[in-house]
Structure 1
């Protein structure tokens, strides 16, 4: 398949361990197995006895029942375990959904900036991709009237990340309902990558709560501090597409590892503990970022974030990749350059790592770099 290079992964992965101040990650502070057991109040001896007795044969083909129940519990009562399919990570979820639904003759409406899978995979599969770019104007905004104008009878799906990657923008219930109305008019699906969902003090509405043809993709990677489990999921109330999803999953990974699914189930059963832990981490760091930005006249925050990252535009006449490369070379600070998200003169900054002094020191280095650009 001829597909565009995955810019974010090609940018971040080779540099992940190269910077003293790594603000590229979008995960909340990861836990060790021991920390996970302590946080959730799980009996360690019982946990390891269960693992010792596990068969190393194939796992559950739709996902461990305990895990599917825990995933369903992340949403309202509209979602049941039958509507959950466990897959290999959030990237596996996005890939499977796109491959199951997209084909030549369809179009896909994608709200940018977003995660590249949502537009590059449909394009590679022969779909027309229609882009609404929230970052194209002076101020970041989601103009749903312009999105509606892109939707027609050939629209297979509307794709978004909620909260946004990279911006952290969170759609209100009213905005999700408006998107639902426009999708329902033509029978389009709404695919919502909700991997950053859950860090608000209020319930964050999911597309699968509100729309019978809503499809959620997510995983334990970000707000559940366990990217290494590679446990993801697809949720949809439209069971008519379940066979297609299962078929693509069979080509993709067959099943997931039962040890990983057990860990994920324990974490999701205690979701509020992880929400509270990671909410505190990101809120403290985000406030530090906001205060620091008050002294940076050349930077503009895209929007208020409800995730572990924020997105920043700058007014220097320097391309995004060059800005990030120079920042890394001169100040040992790594950020995600805007080209990873089809944006110019901008970058994503992550702050979910849980070390305030580290973050302040890195911001000071970033401030030094900006001051040098003024000279």
Structure 2
């Protein structure tokens, strides 16, 4: 039997989110309904054709859906992605799993961007691979060290895994850094797997960054894989639909072969909803709504961090839906698990502890992950509850024990 580590963040979410009064651990943009999608597209017709027979449908995803997904990777600098280069899955979590299952095994070595979603390094380990964590630090604004990447490469390095935008920090890998990662991988013929589930929520780029960082598929290197889903940027976690995209037909076919044993096809209802949401008449308005909500909500989180300066510190996220905030007392990090538990018990507000959900060893003590793109009122009420806890309750949170 394969031994796999407990998936800490998902277990934490399962334990608390159903009964949370103020869920600020959720990482999706505020969910939308089918009626909302009709509004965004300006159409009166139903999103779903209720007369359509519910067969298995297209095994790899409908032509319309895969075409709309391929359009997400359109760029002036590279050829358009063909629908055949897209494989539809049950969410990004399955897209990531199938990619890792297809290309990683005993004797392989994997390098993984860190911190990140635990699946991306725990699953390769469960398949028998050695995993090196390519660590970033808040002291360097979560930037990656390219010289360290070079030093981590081994003769058996099979995969470099990155996450852009990054969960839980909201940091981004800029075009120049991406190009260097591609150059390093190409020199060593290593596959790059990029989890792009928070793309294209680049809501806070400064004037020195006039363009959104491109997808990993934009750099002319065939051994690249992008995974994503409808859950985060597109507000449709409930339809459980994601995808694998690559310019390499060999990569797609390898993943499709593994997929035959795990999926067959996604629900035709989910396929129809996703096709509509990603259609030209809908996607622009949907993303506009989510980017504006992210920008508005993030200002409130920034005000909170400023008001508790010295106690709460962060590197302000520039993309995605999550912020990684560190809480301390007189410069000593608090016990972040106790902080989240006390806060939940006090007023039902839910956050995710960094050390338990994203760290190994003593990494990320005092950090909590906050999802700041729920419905506007959810964010306002949640921050109000955290402020009340900071005034009465925070004093009882223990400090980190060395």
Please indicate, yes or no, whether the TM-score normalized by the shorter chain is above 0.5: yes
Determine if the alignment matches structure 1 residue 161 to structure 2 residue 193.
no
Contact 2:8 2:357 in 1 (8 A): yes
Match of 1:287 among 269, 274, 299: 299
Map Cα deviations across residues 194-214 of structure 1 (whole Å, 9 max, x no partner).
Answer: 111012264441001113211
Match of 1:197 among 196, 199, 208: 199
Compare 26-35 and 74-83 and name the one that shifted more. Answer: 74-83
Match of 2:358 in 1: 341
Match of 1:325 among 316, 335, 341: 341
SS at match of 2:278: helix
In 1, distance between residues paired with 2:43 and 2:260?
Answer: 32
Cα gap change, 1:136/1:286 in structure 2, threshold over 3 Å: closer, same or farther? Answer: closer
Match of 2:317 among 283, 301, 304: 304
Match of 1:354 in 2: 375
Compare 35-44 and 105-114 and name the one that shifted more. Answer: 35-44
Determine if the alignment matches structure 1 residue 208 to structure 2 residue 217.
yes
Match of 1:127 among 126, 129, 135: 129
In 1, distance between residues paired with 2:343 and 2:368?
Answer: 11
Determine if the alignment matches structure 1 residue 224 to structure 2 residue 234.
yes
Determine if the alignment matches structure 1 residue 258 to structure 2 residue 250.
no
* 1:5-44 matches, cutoff 5 A: 5-44=6-45
In 1, distance between residues paired with 2:306 and 2:127?
Answer: 44
In 2, distance between residues paired with 1:363 and 1:320?
Answer: 17
Determine if the alignment matches structure 1 residue 51 to structure 2 residue 50.
yes
Match of 2:386 in 1: 366
Shift of 1:359: 2.2
Cα gap change, 1:193/1:147 in structure 2, threshold over 3 Å: closer, same or farther? Answer: same
Shift of 1:365: 2.3
TM-score between the two structures when normalised by the length of structure 1 = 0.94
Match of 1:64 among 62, 65, 78: 62
In 1, distance between residues paired with 2:296 and 2:161?
Answer: 30
Contact 1:151 1:182 in 2 (8 A): no
Shift of 1:137: 5.1
Contact 2:327 2:334 in 1 (8 A): no
Contact 2:373 2:379 in 1 (8 A): no
Match of 2:243 among 214, 233, 237: 233
Shift of 1:291: 1.5
Shift of 1:303: 4.1
In 2, distance between residues paired with 1:261 and 1:344?
Answer: 41
Structure 1 unaligned runs (5+)?
none
In 1, distance between residues paired with 2:140 and 2:322?
Answer: 20
Shift of 1:14: 2.3
Structure showing the higher helix proportion among its residues: 1
Cα gap change, 1:116/1:164 in structure 2, threshold over 3 Å: closer, same or farther? Answer: same
> Paired residues, what number?
371
